[in-house]
């Protein structure tokens, strides 16, 4: 009878491996989790959001990153790759490599069947520990639907959601507006 031995890594070992790896992986509590590829819809939505926010922020002291920017939740030890990341003000990084951001202002996740529960639940629990995080967007790819969470002064989170393509989501932390028609450009939703 053979049992598989779990291998645990330190954050430093994970980063050394990740920086050489062909494919991206996430890290939590010593374990490394492979990320899977994204669908056409997922990529279109993430690209649309990135483009819309970049256009609004390009002359302001904010930076917009794609899913290649790793984020560390220092309080919990999670290393992950959100679909879109915005940081306003001075970006802070985990080390001199400047490839692991620790102070995002806005995070965006595009839901997949395999990640929807995690993105809304446990992953969002991690994200809420980030003192810098002011807003979180969760975007469906199988229907027109966006969930917008905004941190309140009492550290509670207010949820607003819409499935109306005529709506515009106002993002107060970064002073941007995101029209659902821009989010879903070229995205075909099965009826």
Residues 55-85 pLDDT 10s: 999 999 999 999 999 999 999 999 999 999 9
Residues 19-43 pLDDT 10s: 999 889 999 999 888 887 788 999 9
Q: How many residues would you count in the chain?
A: 191
Residues 124-174 pLDDT 10s: 999 999 999 999 999 999 999 999 999 999 999 999 999 999 999 999 999
- pLDDT range class, residue 1, cuts 50, 70, 90: low
Write the CB contacts of 67 (distance below 8 Å, at least 6 apart in sequence): 24, 46, 81, 82, 83, 84
Find the distance separating the first CA and the last CA of the chain, reported in whole Å: 50
Sign of the dihedral defined by the CA atoms of residues 77, 71, 47, 177, in that order: positive
**DSSP tag of 22:** S
Domains identified in the chain and CATH numbers: 38-183 (3.90.1570.10)
Residues 106-130 pLDDT 10s: 999 999 888 888 999 999 999 999 9
Write the CB contacts of 149 (distance below 8 Å, at least 6 apart in sequence): 124, 135, 136, 137, 138, 157, 158, 159
Mean pLDDT of 88-117: 95
Q: What is the pTM of this model?
A: 0.93
Q: Which two tokens stand for residue 93?
A: 């990084």
User: According to the model, what pLDDT value does residue 72 have?
Assistant: 97
Three-state DSSP at 71 gives strand
């Amino acid at each position: 009878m053979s049992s598989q031995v779990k291998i645990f890594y330190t954050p430093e070992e994970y980063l050394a491996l990740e920086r050489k790896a062909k494919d991206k992986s996430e890290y939590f509590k010593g374990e490394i989790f492979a990320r899977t590829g994204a669908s056409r819809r997922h990529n279109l939505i993430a690209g649309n959001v990135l483009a819309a926010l970049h256009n609004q922020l390009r002359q302001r002291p904010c930076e917009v990153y794609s899913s290649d920017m790793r984020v560390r939740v220092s309080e919990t030890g999670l290393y992950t790759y959100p679909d879109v990341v915005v940081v306003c003000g001075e970006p802070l990084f985990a080390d001199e490599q400047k490839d692991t951001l620790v102070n995002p202002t806005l995070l965006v996740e595009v839901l997949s069947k395999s990640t929807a529960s995690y993105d809304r639940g446990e992953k969002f629990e991690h994200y809420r520990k980030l003192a810098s995080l002011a807003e979180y967007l969760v975007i469906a790819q199988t229907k027109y639907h966006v969930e917008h969470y905004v941190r309140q002064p009492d550290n509670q989170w207010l949820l607003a959601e819409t499935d109306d393509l005529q709506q515009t989501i106002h993002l107060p932390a970064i002073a941007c507006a995101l029209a659902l028609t821009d989010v879903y450009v070229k995205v075909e939703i099965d009826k």
